[in-house]
Structure 1
Amino acid sequence: MIELASPQYRRVTYSLALGSFIVFCNLYLFQPMLPYMAVHFSVSETQVNWIFAASTLALSVCLVPWAVASESIGRRRVMLLGLIAMPLIGLAMLVSDSLVAMVMLRALMGVALAAFASVAVAYMVEELSEKAFSQAIGGYIAANSLGGITGRIVGGSLTDALGWQQAVISMAIFSFVATLVVMVSLPKQKNFTPQRGMLRYHNRALVKHLQNRTIWLAMLLGGVNFALFVNLYSVMGFRLVADPHNLPIGLASLIFLCYLAGTLSSKLTSVWRKSHNSVSGMATGSVISLLGMVIAYIDSLAFMMLGLLLISFGAFFTHTLAYAWVSQKATHAKATATALYLVHYYIGGSIGGFFLLYCWQHGGWGYVILGGSALYAMIFILCRLLKNCENRSLLTPQQPDSAILAPNTNWEAK
């Protein structure tokens, strides 16, 4: 196993952080461009949202298949396949002359992104010692967040200054160079053993998780939370470039710096859990996020930015607690459970955009508050149901379902 502070450790952590960074840069590159692309293709806000939703939706449905494939062909090979495909797909977008072609290529990009996102943590678990992994995972998650912020700001700024094609070309070149660095620096796996016949195990585990209300409710909650969080930002992008603000796309893309409030709140969840209940924390985060949505109604840039900061703080707080809840409450196949949570998470982000942008299109931010409030009501209902499930589990503790464990239980830690 690779130990903390060793040269191999630095190679693994830097390589995976760089790979994660470019994955999330590419995933969110087009989000600030949506107002520009709506004009470019002469389509509505809800129609142009397919450019963003196609990639997140494709990523969500491909996470588990890529994870299963990596059991046979290896984590490193799967990750590199995804990274190599990204700049090629990006360059192909330059010749797309219709919204349909662009959406199809963005969906293909989501498939490529899922290859890396689905197995990077499994690679770390297998190759790093427990102490080294505990340190490395923090840098990996930070790279996710920074990649998302950077991709959005770069996409908006370059589109505003040079055009969307130049933004795509720049990201493709950067992705290609970064992929070469990862290929050279990421060590080959030494602790991976190919597994055969895992598909049936995964399928049975997925069914069991979906039948477990304590887990599935948290997955639904995570999906609704992300549907609100990421798409309130999309709507705000359209709001800032329209009258009366008329901000350039490059300046409007700076709103994504408000994501840093979520980076702070995700770290504070560990403090909350020491003396408070996780479900109450999910509800608290949602109340803070709801408050931000309402404050953003005030048509002032200062209040809109304050609203976004609160939305980010609350949504990340809720997401971190829900994600940890799923991992803790799963009595078997924890890796499959967390992957299934991410499936719900990204599907929620894909679908939520059409709903909130429809509200924006037909009634401005006032209608967004009405539509968003309905989604927040769903979150609070799910929190109540989760609390009931938790109370019942305290009265009658559940035993692990050992009947569906894989023959090689080492997979459980992957």
Structure 2
Amino acid sequence: MFALVASGFTNIYLTQPVLPVLQQEFGVSVAEAAWSISAVILGITLANIPFGLLADALPVRPIILLGGLMIAAAGLFTSTADALSWHVAGRFTQGLFIPALTTCLAAYLARVLPPDRLNVIMGSYVAATVLGGLGGRLLGGWIHPPLHWRYALVSAAALTIVSTVIAWWLLPREGKRVRPDHASRVGFLDLIRQWRVLRLVFSGMGSFFVFSSLFNYLPFRLAQPPFALSTNAITAVYLVYIMGIFIGPMAGKIANRWGSGSTLLAGAAVTFASVLLSALPWLSGVVAALLLLCAGFFTVHAASVGALNRALAHGHGRANALYVLFYYLGGWLGVSASGLAFQTWGWAGVMGVCVGMLAFPALAGWQLQREQESGN
């Protein structure tokens, strides 16, 4: 499971460190080159709920096998694309099938594991997403020379095929399904009508908007004066991402002790500080900003998911699918909107839109804190 999730997430951010290389090779603008990432996120956003419904209706292991093979095939196709339009089409197809290795796998684990084991395995699941995200960035801009980014796509495809086949072969078959009772059939519209659900969904969306924006346009900022870093040096900066492996469990403990509201407010404040620090003209300041960004983002993400699941008596599966939908929608909007802001106003434009989106986790935290203090 760990290898499967990590290899799946490797494909998402594979081209992020080499976006300036893609811009030059395809002869496109910054915003157009960023579609290499936003197309994947858009595909995940559109396919997440359909795959969640498939996971409830069909055995998951064949879905995992199909999804993994399609991601690999689309990656191999993308590695041969000689135009940005075909490149984006291949990346979009990869995004469409990523939920087979994320949403469907999470549903599978919830069905086949007892509760005490599920908590442990889901901790590994989160760590695998972080490792995969970091691994993709390192594979795309460090392990393979930047100008040979096409080989990184081939390597990621090979890893995905191997991990998918092994997972399909070794993961236990599902037992007999338990038919859900009437009370548990909470629809998506029912969830959207609940503000206590919607504010936490928007909290995750806003935080991932900021995270995706800063990390996606960091290569362009660091490639320009006063930094003028090489692609290898820019890729090394992404090592700060590994902090997410440790922050997630810590955020859960903080939320248990101080409450989800206070944790969300603290995470939003730390993220806000990271946005401000990113404007510093020193590399040490930018690295500090990214460390704070990881700390703040994963704190908000973990606290939002935890508060969402505690707020509901039924419909947890659909609520989590809804959260993931808006989560990746926030990432896609962040990459798209910040690209236009960067072209128009430079890094100050990226900072401006990010600060605005932090209102969502801050509002959710403030309201949760007030409810906690009033005993509601």
Superposed pair shares fold, TM > 0.5: yes
Query: How far apart, CA to CA, are the structure 2 residues paired with 1:126 and 1:169?
Result: 33
**Counterpart code for 2:351:** I
Kindly indicate whether residue 309 of structure 2 is the aligned counterpart of residue 327 of structure 1.
yes
Kindly indicate whether residue 177 of structure 2 is the aligned counterpart of residue 193 of structure 1.
yes
What is aligned with 1:70?
Answer: 55
Q: Which runs of 5+ in 1 are unaligned?
A: 1-15, 395-414
- Structure 1 residues 308 and 193 mapped into 2: Cα distance closer, same or farther (>3 Å)? same
What is aligned with 2:13?
Answer: 28
Query: How far apart, CA to CA, are the structure 2 residues paired with 1:160 and 1:361?
Result: 27
The Cα shift of 1:56 comes to 1.0
The Cα shift of 1:235 comes to 1.5
Query: How far apart, CA to CA, are the structure 2 residues paired with 1:78 and 1:283?
Result: 39
What is aligned with 1:366?
Answer: 348
The Cα shift of 1:386 comes to 4.8
**Equivalent position to 1:48, from 29, 33, 36:** 33
Kindly indicate whether residue 138 of structure 2 is the aligned counterpart of residue 124 of structure 1.
no
What is aligned with 2:244?
Answer: 262
What is aligned with 2:300?
Answer: 318
The Cα shift of 1:270 comes to 2.8
Kindly indicate whether residue 266 of structure 2 is the aligned counterpart of residue 284 of structure 1.
yes
- My pick for the range that moved more, 279-288 or 350-359, is 350-359
- Structure 1 residues 161 and 269 mapped into 2: Cα distance closer, same or farther (>3 Å)? closer
- Structure 1 residues 152 and 40 mapped into 2: Cα distance closer, same or farther (>3 Å)? same
The Cα shift of 1:314 comes to 0.6
**Counterpart code for 1:214:** R
Aligned-pair RMSD on alpha carbons?
A: 2.3
Query: How far apart, CA to CA, are the structure 2 residues paired with 1:92 and 1:23?
Result: 16
**Equivalent position to 1:109, from 94, 98, 114:** 94
The Cα shift of 1:393 comes to 8.3
**Counterpart code for 1:377:** A
The Cα shift of 1:239 comes to 0.9
What is aligned with 2:136?
Answer: 151
What is aligned with 1:244?
Answer: 226
Q: Contact between 1:57 and 1:347, CA under 8 Å: does it hold in 2?
A: yes
- My pick for the range that moved more, 368-377 or 26-35, is 368-377
- Structure 1 residues 366 and 347 mapped into 2: Cα distance closer, same or farther (>3 Å)? same
- Structure 1 residues 349 and 192 mapped into 2: Cα distance closer, same or farther (>3 Å)? farther
TM-score, reference length from structure 1: 0.84
- My pick for the range that moved more, 377-386 or 253-262, is 377-386
Q: Contact between 1:71 and 1:195, CA under 8 Å: does it hold in 2?
A: no
The SS at the match of 1:28 is coil
**Counterpart code for 1:167:** A
The Cα shift of 1:370 comes to 2.4
Query: How far apart, CA to CA, are the structure 2 residues paired with 1:161 and 1:276?
Result: 45
The Cα shift of 1:159 comes to 5.1
**Counterpart code for 1:36:** V
**Counterpart code for 2:243:** A
The SS at the match of 1:83 is helix
Matched pairs, number: 375
- Structure 1 residues 140 and 373 mapped into 2: Cα distance closer, same or farther (>3 Å)? closer
Query: How far apart, CA to CA, are the structure 2 residues paired with 1:336 and 1:264?
Result: 27
Query: How far apart, CA to CA, are the structure 2 residues paired with 1:131 and 1:86?
Result: 32
**Counterpart code for 1:258:** V
Query: How far apart, CA to CA, are the structure 1 residues paired with 2:313 and 2:178?
Result: 24
**Equivalent position to 2:45, from 60, 65, 88:** 60
**Equivalent position to 2:23, from 38, 41, 48:** 38
Q: Contact between 1:228 and 1:375, CA under 8 Å: does it hold in 2?
A: yes
Query: How far apart, CA to CA, are the structure 2 residues paired with 1:99 and 1:294?
Result: 33
- Structure 1 residues 31 and 202 mapped into 2: Cα distance closer, same or farther (>3 Å)? farther
Q: Which has the larger radius of gyration?
A: 1
- My pick for the range that moved more, 235-244 or 50-59, is 235-244
CA-to-partner distance for each residue in 1:7-57, whole Å, 9 max, x for gaps? xxxxxxxxx111101110011112222221111121111122222111112
What is aligned with 2:81?
Answer: 96
CA-to-partner distance for each residue in 1:347-380, whole Å, 9 max, x for gaps? 0000111222322223332333223222223442
**Counterpart code for 1:239:** R
The SS at the match of 1:245 is coil
Q: Contact between 2:260 and 2:369, CA under 8 Å: does it hold in 1?
A: no
- Structure 1 residues 176 and 301 mapped into 2: Cα distance closer, same or farther (>3 Å)? same
**Equivalent position to 2:210, from 194, 217, 228:** 228
Query: How far apart, CA to CA, are the structure 2 residues paired with 1:379 and 1:342?
Result: 15
- My pick for the range that moved more, 269-278 or 37-46, is 269-278
The Cα shift of 1:97 comes to 2.4
**Counterpart code for 1:127:** V
What is aligned with 2:161?
Answer: 176
